[in-house]
């Protein structure tokens, strides 16, 4: 019985140990180091649409990988960081931004905490 419990414990723990060696970064390297640096900086300021509380840079979700690939393509096409952000907000709304702009739609978001004090 004791050997059975040890074998079960080992079987449960092995997958967790195997993931320790997995890479922590979700961003694969781009061909161009300048584009890679821009991508990392920009992706840290964007929200993963699946994980919501995780940046696009740190997310392992399939949609985040697709968005990073799209950003990389736009950057290779010569788009500026502002143009990339404008493209993403036009497509996904202000939710993709970690710091939404101060406009009438977001006034409650920005001023709400002060009003509740």
| Ordered domains of the chain (ranges, CATH) | 2-116 (1.10.8.640)
Q: pLDDT for 21-60, tens place per residue?
A: 444 455 555 578 889 999 999 999 999 989 878 999 989 9
The pLDDT of residue 29: 59
Q: Which residues contact 109 (CB under 8 A, 6 or more apart)?
A: 100
| Range from 10-19, 21-30, 94-103 carrying the lowest mean pLDDT | 21-30
Give the residue carrying structure tokens 């036009």.
Answer: 90
CA 44 – CA 51 distance, rounded (Å): 14
Q: pLDDT for 104-115, tens place per residue?
A: 777 777 788 887
CA 34 – CA 2 distance, rounded (Å): 57
CA 55 – CA 4 distance, rounded (Å): 42
């Amino acid at each position: 019985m004791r050997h059975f419990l040890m074998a079960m414990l080992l079987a449960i723990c092995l997958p967790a140990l195997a993931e320790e060696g997995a890479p922590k970064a979700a961003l694969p390297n781009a061909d161009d180091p300048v584009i890679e640096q821009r991508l990392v900086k920009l992706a840290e300021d964007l929200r993963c649409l699946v994980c919501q509380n995780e940046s696009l840079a740190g997310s392992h979700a399939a949609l985040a990988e697709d968005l990073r690939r799209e950003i990389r393509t736009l950057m290779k096409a010569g788009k500026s960081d502002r143009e990339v952000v404008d493209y993403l907000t036009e497509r996904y709304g202000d939710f993709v931004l970690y710091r939404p702009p101060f406009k009438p739609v977001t006034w409650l978001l920005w001023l709400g905490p002060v009003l509740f004090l």
